[in-house]
Amino acid sequence: MGIDLSALFEKKEVELNDLAGATVAVDAFNILYQFLSVIRQRDGTPLLNQYGGVTSHLSGILYRTTSLCEAGIKPIFVFDGTAPELKHDTQKKRRKVREDAQKKWGEAKDAGGEDAFKYAQATSRLTPEMVEDSKKLLGYMGIPFVQAPSEGEAQAVVLVQKGDADYVASQDYDALLFGAPRVVRNLTVTGQRKLPGKNVYVKVNPEIIELEPNLSRLGITQHDLIDLAVFVGTDFNEGIAGIGPKKALKLVQTHESIEDAVSSLDAKLDLDINLDDLNGAIEIFTHPAVSQDYIIETGKLDSDRIVEFLCDTHGFSKERVQKTVERLKESRDEGQSTLDKWF
């Protein structure tokens, strides 16, 4: 999901409490997929309600969002709308990956293998019903959210650019391609994390990436960064075989335009590069479908509705949910029951 440009960007590691007072536009789909991926039993089975429905995403929203509020962070969840047409091929490939992982997960579970959890993570699927339930729970918690017309990350960037948020929260680097001045990673996965395939745990802290200082250090512009990304490959185009982030960086540093760079590659490697595909992806990043007149949906903290929804409907532990709701209440300034003052 998204492009990995970690090799190019410098990051500043911080503690969660260092973000106290900050408003963060959360890429909702990205974070929900994290919850679905990591909040699982030891054999990889997700959390389920009494009807067999997945509830890992709801668990993440309640418990991890409450932790953010306790740290003084003000989240605004931004949900994806209709995906651009160019993303459809990527979505088909992801479905195939999930199907293959589902088969391998079943085999690993039957064999009692340690790889079961790894394969299970790759089966994560976010359904429309999960999205609606997520919005419902956020509303009961009084946590604001925004519905994007298309890519949630692109809309989250607009919130930061307009001053309604300080950071975009996402694990992906796409937010930087959309022009996010500041991105925070690892916001909801802080703490101890087990390294894949090893009995080793490492501490994970939030990381802040600032766009302009990194562009300056690399000696490129925002448009160069987008060109670089489409050479590597994004959710909207295949990329060019054999071109990674570092090779792509050299291309944009040494050529005046993407056309010149493509011509040089065609001449050297005898490639058949479709410039229209590259330009189509570039257009999505430079002119994304976003709303400048978005509505930040806020609500009141409704303890009874949270308990009813999670415990009665989805089988959560009433005692644990009630304790978490009390923590959420206490995290509000002087018992404030709405988040209206944030905005």
**pLDDT tens-digit series, residues 156-186:** 999 999 999 999 999 999 999 999 999 999 9
Residue 266 clears pLDDT 70, i.e. is over it? no
pTM, 2 dp? 0.90
Mean pLDDT of 232-255: 91
With beta carbons less than 8 A apart as the criterion, state whether 185 and 13 touch: no
How far is the C-alpha of 73 from the C-alpha of 172, rounded, in Å? 20
256 — pLDDT class (breaks 50, 70, 90): confident
% pLDDT > 70, the chain: 90
User: pLDDT of 60-95, one tens digit each?
Assistant: 999 999 999 999 999 999 999 999 887 877 777 778
Residue 334 clears pLDDT 50, i.e. is over it? no
Q: Are strands 167-169 and 182-185 parallel, antiparallel or unpaired?
A: parallel
pLDDT of residue 343: 44
How far is the C-alpha of 204 from the C-alpha of 6, rounded, in Å? 15
pLDDT of residue 98: 80
| Strand partners for 24 | 75, 167
Buried/exposed 50-75: b ≥16 CB within 10 Å, e otherwise: eeebbbbbbbbbbbbbbbbbebebbb
Mean pLDDT of 99-106: 79
Residue 18 clears pLDDT 60, i.e. is over it? yes
337 — pLDDT class (breaks 50, 70, 90): very low
Find, among 163, 169, 175, 158, the residue nearest to 208 by Cα. Answer: 169
pLDDT of residue 215: 98
270 — pLDDT class (breaks 50, 70, 90): low
Mean pLDDT of 98-123: 78
User: pLDDT of 315-333, one tens digit each?
Assistant: 999 999 999 999 999 997 5
Residue 282 clears pLDDT 60, i.e. is over it? yes
Mean pLDDT of 97-118: 77
For the record, the structure tokens of 48 come out as 């389920």
Residue 303 burial (CB count, 10 A):
17
Count Cβ atoms within 10 A of the Cβ of residue 305 and give its class: 0-12 exposed, 13-18 middle, 19 or more buried: middle
Residue 297 clears pLDDT 90, i.e. is over it? no
| Strand partners for 145 | 77, 297
Residue 32 clears pLDDT 50, i.e. is over it? yes
Q: Which residue has the higher pLDDT, 341 or 277?
A: 277
Q: Domains along the chain?
A: 12-214 (3.40.50.1010), 219-286 (1.10.150.20)
Of the listed ranges 90-104, 198-212, 252-266, 290-304, the least confidently predicted one is: 90-104
For CA atoms 61, 67, 70, 73, give the dihedral sign.
negative
Alpha-helical segments (H) within 22-178: 28-38, 56-59, 65-70, 88-111, 116-121, 128-141, 152-161, 174-177
Measured in degrees and rounded to the nearest 5, phi and psi for residue 247 equal -65, -40
How far is the C-alpha of 240 from the C-alpha of 225, rounded, in Å? 16
Count Cβ atoms within 10 A of the Cβ of residue 320 and give its class: 0-12 exposed, 13-18 middle, 19 or more buried: middle
